[in-house]
Amino acid sequence: MARFLVTGGAGYVGSHLVLTLLERGDEVVVFDNLRTGHRSAVSPGARFVKGDLADPVALEAVLADGRWDGLFHFAALSLVGESMREPMRYLSENAGNGFALIQAAVRHEVPRFVLSSTANIFGSADTPTLAETAVIEPASAYGESKRMIERALLWADRVHGLRSACLRYFNAAGADPRGRLGEDHRPETHLIPLAIDAALGRIPELTIFGDDYDTPDGTCIRDYVHVCDLADAHIRVLDRLDHASVSYNLGNGAGHSVRQVLESVAASLGRDVPARIGPRRAGDPPRLVACSDLIKAEAGWAPRFADLREIVDHAAAWRLEHPYGYG
């Protein structure tokens, strides 16, 4: 049995990882300030510590509490659009908290650090898919803040030997297939849950952020990847870290436009998604699709739910069952 710290373990992706770790029989401590996470998203088998990464006393206390086999860092502001309205907040908070956590991890000899990073570190692509070798040019202040933490991890490895994995998620989506966990952001800004809400009449309509992009139907293309497949990738990279630090892009390699996602939601629920066209949203690259060959080859990652319709079905099932999210 291994022992892990999960910052942001009450959030969307973090909570799914916590459940996966517990199912493996690992011991898990969740550190979360509950600003965007939910206490009830933390599975009962985990120990929960309410605390903020910006509080050095709280951070020191949680890390000093025993030996660790690794640390997963999710806790962060994570909205592309918001980061373009408040760039300095994103840069200082996300990067500052990340640096403090890396320093604490080094101090406490945590052997492995897995970072929840993002596809938004890539501005856009000249190639159909983005591999790890693609040019890094963050499209938003959010992407930049994650890139800053990636860079800090490089130095923590070079100087202190802290092994790290930077996992660049494309668009996390879906929910636990058994319905135990799901996606609940407040306010919700993500495409799939909003489209579900629009189809169910919980919001009047969805706004499509721009239909004049240079894409086949004019709307942005994203690579939606199941949240449980992301959780699985976190576990698979742990063994890789015995050899070297790594960076991996995580997606299904299939691009879907905003309009295609709305069609998938409509088909899943058997209802139309009322939508109107609005202006573009700052910080949105036209197309982000992953090439995940490297993590498949090196860590044996094999997504179980690569089909968009299945991803949408899981998201819809959770939202139908939990109209008020985590309550």
Would you name the residues annotated as active-site residues?
Answer: 142
Considering only 120, 145, 247, 268, the residue that binds ligand UFG (CB under 6 A) is: 120
CB nearer to ligand UFG: pick between 38 and 163: 38
- Give the total residue count for the chain: 327
- Establish if 209 lies at the interface with ligand UFG (CB under 6 A): yes
3-class SS of residue 212 = coil
CB nearer to ligand UFG: pick between 68 and 318: 318
Residue nearest to ligand UFG (CB): 220
Q: Which stretch binds ligand UFG (CB under 6 A): 21-29, 105-113, 280-288, 306-314?
A: 280-288
Considering only 28, 30, 41, 80, the residue that binds ligand UFG (CB under 6 A) is: 80
Q: Which strand (E) or helix (H) includes residue 180? A: none
Q: Determine whether 99 is exposed, middle or buried from the number of CB atoms within 10 Å of its CB (0-12, 13-18, 19+).
A: middle
CB nearer to ligand UFG: pick between 56 and 278: 278
Non-local (6+) Cβ contacts of 183 within 8 A are 12, 173, 174, 175, 190, 192, 193, 227, 315, 318, 319
**Closest distance to ligand UFG from the beta carbon of 180 (Å):** 22
- CA-to-CA distance for 90 and 77, rounded, in angstroms? 7
**Closest distance to ligand UFG from the beta carbon of 220 (Å):** 3
Considering only 16, 147, 163, 222, the residue that binds ligand UFG (CB under 6 A) is: 222
End-to-end CA separation in angstroms for the chain? 33
Considering only 10, 75, 288, 315, the residue that binds ligand UFG (CB under 6 A) is: 288
Comparing C-alpha atoms, which of 155, 173, 16 is closest to residue 98?
155
* 160: number of Cβ within 10 Å: 13
Considering only 18, 28, 105, 119, the residue that binds ligand UFG (CB under 6 A) is: 119
Comparing C-alpha atoms, which of 8, 309, 77 is closest to residue 173?
309
Comparing C-alpha atoms, which of 179, 185, 220, 157 is closest to residue 36?
185
- Establish if 40 lies at the interface with ligand UFG (CB under 6 A): no
- Establish if 194 lies at the interface with ligand UFG (CB under 6 A): yes
Count of residues interacting with ligand UFG (CB under 6 A): 21
- The token pair at 52 is 């903020």
Q: Which stretch binds ligand UFG (CB under 6 A): 11-19, 159-167, 205-213, 226-234?
A: 205-213
Name the maximum alpha-carbon separation found in the chain.
56
Considering only 103, 124, 207, 215, the residue that binds ligand UFG (CB under 6 A) is: 207
The footprint of ligand UFG (CB under 6 A) covers: 78, 80, 118-120, 170-171, 189-191, 194, 206-209, 220, 222, 258, 281, 284, 288
